[in-house]
Chain A
Amino acid sequence: MKNLLTIQDLRVYYYLREGAVRAVDGVSFFMKRGETVGLVGESGSGKSTLGLSILKLVSSPGKIVSGKILFNGNDIAGWNEKKMRLLRGSRISMVFQDPMTSLNPLMRIEEHLVETIRTHQKIPKAEAKKKASLLLNEVGIPPERGGDYPHQFSGGMRQRIGIALAIALNPDLLIADEFTSSLDVIVQFQILNLMKKLKASHQMGLIFISHDISLVSEIADRIALMYAGQIVEFAPADIFFSEPLHPYSEGLLNSVPNIELSDQKLNYIPGMPPDLVRPPDGCRFYPRCPYGEDICRRKEPPLVQIEKEHMVKCFRYDGKKSRT
């Protein structure tokens, strides 16, 4: 099967007065049609920037410096604004983190949907309205409420509206940036289930950006773990959770609180992520890594292919396991 999205050695820098912040620094991963990639990492690891750069929405002073973004086989990294605009919302769409501010406060939600549909399809307003009410129904909002303004909805409902907007044109790929983070746990679960259902019925690929690894485990087929602007481990979800290879993956999974364990101590990874203006020469995780060796400090670790679809950026696996 052909890949829906392949990202090769993507670099996105923010040019500030202090220097270039390497928010995304040589990232590669891929996903197939209909799959879900969980893009996980702590705050500032570059996962949101990576999400935005797939839509080429990184705003100044940010810039895509190099790399390829192959979407359905076309390298969209070189596309101009006009071509990108046709893609945005129709083939690739996005759900935002904060449903409270991602809707225009002065537009009825129906207008939001009609606007989205009519941006890409030249159909009469009445027809777009019909489509809008079907969409609202699909995400569990009574279509009668289409005439209401965003402030008349709760956070969970607004996120449902955000999802309706994102799936309005049956995109091939949906990027969801922390889209459940501002909701409470119960609503999070409902929205996540809704997303699973819609993903299956619309055959969409999903990039689920989150810092919440337990939430990601609910939905992802593949995990891409980011640290300091780089993907340190990319693996099928089941393998990642049962047998994490990178020391950071290991540390992260160990620090998920478990209420079944009696000891009350919270595990965490000591230290802080590095400064992305002047990242360390060697491995970026070296200062916090429990297995750090001398080579890690001097040289950047290679991306080691463990199995066909499993990659780790660490010296510990370099040459140790068979490459296929």
Chain B
Amino acid sequence: MKYSISRFIVSNIIKNIFPRKGTEYFVLVGFILVLLIILMAIFAPFIAPYDPIKKVGEILERPSGKFLLGTDGLGRDVLSRIIFGARTAVLVTFLAVSISLSFGVLLGLLSGYTGGKFDTVFSLVMDAMYSFPGLILAIVLAAMLGPGILNTAMAIAVIYTPTYFRMVRGLVLSLKESLFVEAARAIGAKDRTIVFKYIFPNVISSIPIVLSLNAADAVLTLAALSFLGLGLPAPTPDWGFDLRAGHAYLASRIWWPSTFPGLMIVILTLGFSLLGEGLNEILNPELRR
């Protein structure tokens, strides 16, 4: 995109490598956390010491030199599993956010611009979805769709689509009355041109913040789904699933199989949240003091 929003964010992040204010550290820390986990996901086969789905030691071995974070109930290396688990988390989050973003933004643009009955119907549907408790909706959908990366991603995406829809539609409603859109109409621009060249670029600046905050939420939702066994099929390394599998041993003071996956969920969620809140602070001048 020629428009400067992405450049603006990047330049702001670069500027904030040497932050001046507390909130600007948020972005930096969040950015680093997210980046680390993404790198971990990409290079998982090179970092992980063992195969994450093979029995490589005794069951429930304590953390030691051989198994840095110990082994789980099936004798698999916990470290390798959380490293490969990053793949699942990042991939599903990415897919879920992309799906909800595409649908939400596109429908929001269409609905807001066209108006009339079309708009009424879509707004009602989206509001109905929005008013439903997110996790419960995802559980129902995940149960209906069955396990699998794409299915889980779709179940999660449904929760966030209305967020984008509502935001974009609201902006479009005010933008389409603006003078420059009327001016575009007066030069004979087609509706398609008006939507994508005049309205859309003025909408996207609000997206990154929502996107980042939704990603944080999506990580948690995925963890919850996996925890309930509605996520990915069994041997796939998955933080939520491992947390669930490990929590049975907590009573016998075997803490490592559950603590480390749980910690990863916290770190990734925190990373996205800090990034989102920080971006909000930087990109939204009204919140600046």
* A binding-site residues for B, Cβ under 8 Å: 55, 57, 59, 84-90, 93-94, 96-98, 101-107, 115-116, 119-120, 162, 165, 168
Whole-angstrom distance between the Cβ of B201 and the nearest chain A Cβ: 4
Please give, as numbers and ranges, the residues of chain A lying within 8 Å of B193 by CB-CB distance: 115, 119
Whether the pair A90, B185 counts as a contact (CB closer than 8 A) is no
Cβ of B51 < 8 Å from any Cβ of A?
no
Q: Can you spell out 9 A-B residue pairs with CB atoms less than 8 angstroms apart? A: A88-B188, A89-B187, A89-B188, A90-B188, A104-B202, A105-B180, A115-B187, A115-B197, A119-B189
Please give, as numbers and ranges, the residues of chain A lying within 8 Å of B187 by CB-CB distance: 88-89, 93, 115-116, 119, 165, 168
CA distance A94 to B182 in the complex (A): 10
CA distance A115 to B198 in the complex (A): 11
Whole-angstrom distance between the Cβ of A150 and the nearest chain B Cβ: 9
Q: Which of A59, A103, A106 contacts B3 (CB 8 A)?
A: A106
Whether the pair A101, B180 counts as a contact (CB closer than 8 A) is yes
Whether the pair B190, A85 counts as a contact (CB closer than 8 A) is yes
* B binding-site residues for A, Cβ under 8 Å: 3-4, 178-180, 182-190, 193, 197-198, 201-202
> Chain B interface mostly helix, strand, loop or mixed?
helix
Across the two chains, which residue of chain A brings its CB closest to B185?
A57
Whole-angstrom distance between the Cβ of A194 and the nearest chain B Cβ: 19
Across the two chains, which residue of chain B brings its CB closest to A120?
B188
Whether the pair A94, B188 counts as a contact (CB closer than 8 A) is no
Please give, as numbers and ranges, the residues of chain B lying within 8 Å of A84 by CB-CB distance: 188
Given A106-B201, A106-B202, are A88 and B180 neighbors across the interface (CB < 8 Å)?
Answer: no
Whether the pair B188, A87 counts as a contact (CB closer than 8 A) is yes
Whether the pair B186, A55 counts as a contact (CB closer than 8 A) is yes
Whole-angstrom distance between the Cβ of A60 and the nearest chain B Cβ: 9
Across the two chains, which residue of chain B brings its CB closest to A98?
B179
Tell which of B3, B185, B193 has the most Cβ of chain A within 10 Å.
B185
Please give, as numbers and ranges, the residues of chain B lying within 8 Å of A116 by CB-CB distance: 187
Across the two chains, which residue of chain A brings its CB closest to B190?
A85
Please give, as numbers and ranges, the residues of chain B lying within 8 Å of A93 by CB-CB distance: 186-187
CA distance A104 to B189 in the complex (A): 13
Tell which of B178, B180, B185, B193 has the most Cβ of chain A within 10 Å.
B180
CA distance A87 to B185 in the complex (A): 11
Q: Which of B179, B197, B198, B201 contacts A101 (CB 8 A)?
A: B179
Please give, as numbers and ranges, the residues of chain A lying within 8 Å of B184 by CB-CB distance: 104
Please give, as numbers and ranges, the residues of chain B lying within 8 Å of A106 by CB-CB distance: 3-4, 201-202
Tell which of B188, B193, B197 has the most Cβ of chain A within 10 Å.
B188
Whole-angstrom distance between the Cβ of A272 and the nearest chain B Cβ: 28
Whether the pair B185, A115 counts as a contact (CB closer than 8 A) is no
CA distance A168 to B186 in the complex (A): 13
Whether the pair B188, A104 counts as a contact (CB closer than 8 A) is no
CA distance A249 to B202 in the complex (A): 45
Whether the pair B185, A104 counts as a contact (CB closer than 8 A) is no
CA distance A89 to B189 in the complex (A): 9
Whole-angstrom distance between the Cβ of A114 and the nearest chain B Cβ: 11
Across the two chains, which residue of chain A brings its CB closest to B181?
A104
Whether the pair B188, A86 counts as a contact (CB closer than 8 A) is yes
Across the two chains, which residue of chain B brings its CB closest to A89?
B187
Please give, as numbers and ranges, the residues of chain B lying within 8 Å of A104 by CB-CB distance: 180, 184, 197-198, 201-202
CA distance A107 to B178 in the complex (A): 15
Whether the pair A96, B182 counts as a contact (CB closer than 8 A) is yes
CA distance A89 to B188 in the complex (A): 6
Please give, as numbers and ranges, the residues of chain A lying within 8 Å of B180 by CB-CB distance: 101-105
